[in-house]
């Protein structure tokens, strides 16, 4: 063991003198040469092992080990690098966004033009998936509807009372048109009644409201109307008759129940008097 230690120390001395470039004469024996080769082989094996272990380590661990701590003058303010990267992206993206906007505006103008006029080229119309001819017709119909629609700004709201006494708020044009239509309907109905020469009856179609459960629509024919009224009168009399019978039966049941109640109340009094008489006899 001591021999190996001395050989290792001697090899280290040889290496040191060689690195210093000394002109000193060194006595080297065959044993020293063998020890030097062994030491070099050992150092080479250790170097290979360290290299292999470094290759097997994760990248993050190797980077953490190799990375050096930045100096004081190398540090930057917080957010400087992010802002510089953002500025570079904006410089790159600004021309791209501007070109995209111009292209989209050009396409929008072309689309609106084709939508209004359609496509005259049949070959181009077959290749394009959008039916611009149909859209042109729809565009014309929309424009016609807009022209027919009255101007809302020049048409104020007005309040009027209908024939049933209800207050309504509508546009002035609607008010005039509604009154005109209502007047025409009444005139036509009155003329028709005068032509037929019959009586004027209630017409539920001229009253816009929700009818109740008991509402019944009579016929406009006089004979059929009289038959309907006669049937309803018979049904009403039959209902009144059944109601009278039901009331009489209920009165009978109430009287019977009241009689049973009075008998039940008088029974305990009689039993108590009998008990008193029995007690007197016993005494």
List the pLDDT tens digit at each of the 283 positions of the chain.
444 445 555 555 555 555 555 455 555 566 666 777 778 888 888 888 887 776 665 545 545 554 455 555 555 556 666 766 666 655 555 567 777 778 788 877 776 766 666 665 565 555 565 565 666 666 655 555 454 455 555 667 777 676 667 777 766 655 556 666 677 777 777 777 666 666 667 777 767 777 777 778 888 777 888 898 899 999 999 999 999 999 999 999 988 888 888 777 665 545 555 555 545 555 5
Do the Cβ atoms of 165 and 151 come closer than 8 Å?
Answer: no
Alpha-carbon Rg for the chain, nearest whole angstrom, is 58
Sort residue 79 into left (φ over 0), alpha (ψ -120 to 50) or beta.
left
- How many CB atoms within 10 Å of residue 36? 18
Q: What six digits make up the tokens of 166?
A: 């209800």
Q: List CB contacts of 193: < 8 A, sequence separation 6 or more.
A: 199, 200
Regarding pTM above 0.85, the answer is no
* CA proximity to 250, closest of 239, 258, 261, 262: 258
């Amino acid at each position: 063991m001591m021999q190996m230690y001395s050989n290792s120390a001697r090899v280290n001395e040889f290496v040191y003198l060689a690195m210093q470039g000394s002109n000193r004469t060194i006595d080297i024996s065959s044993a020293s040469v063998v020890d030097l080769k062994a030491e070099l082989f050992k150092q080479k094996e250790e170097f290979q092992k360290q290299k292999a272990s470094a290759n097997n380590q994760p990248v993050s661990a190797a980077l953490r080990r190799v990375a050096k701590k930045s100096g004081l003058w190398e540090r930057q303010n917080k957010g400087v690098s992010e802002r510089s990267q953002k500025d570079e992206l904006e410089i790159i993206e600004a021309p791209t966004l501007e070109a995209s906007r111009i292209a989209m505006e050009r396409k929008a103008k072309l689309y609106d033009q084709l939508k209004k006029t359609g496509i005259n080229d049949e070959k181009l119309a077959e290749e394009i998936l959008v039916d611009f001819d149909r859209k042109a017709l729809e565009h014309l119909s929309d424009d016609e509807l807009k022209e027919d629609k009255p101007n809302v700004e020049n048409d104020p709201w007005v309040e009027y009372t209908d024939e049933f006494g209800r207050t309504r708020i509508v546009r002035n044009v609607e008010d005039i048109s509604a009154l005109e239509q209502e007047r025409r309907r009444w005139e036509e109905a009155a003329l028709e009644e005068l032509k037929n020469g019959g009586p004027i009856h209630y017409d539920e179609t001229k009253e816009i409201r929700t009818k109740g459960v008991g509402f019944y629509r009579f016929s406009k024919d006089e004979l059929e109307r009289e038959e309907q009224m006669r049937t309803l009168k018979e049904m009403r009399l039959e209902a009144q008759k059944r109601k009278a019978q039901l009331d009489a039966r209920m009165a009978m049941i109430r009287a019977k129940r009241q009689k049973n109640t009075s008998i039940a109340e008088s029974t305990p009094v009689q039993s108590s008097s009998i008990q008193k008489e029995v007690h007197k006899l016993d005494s």
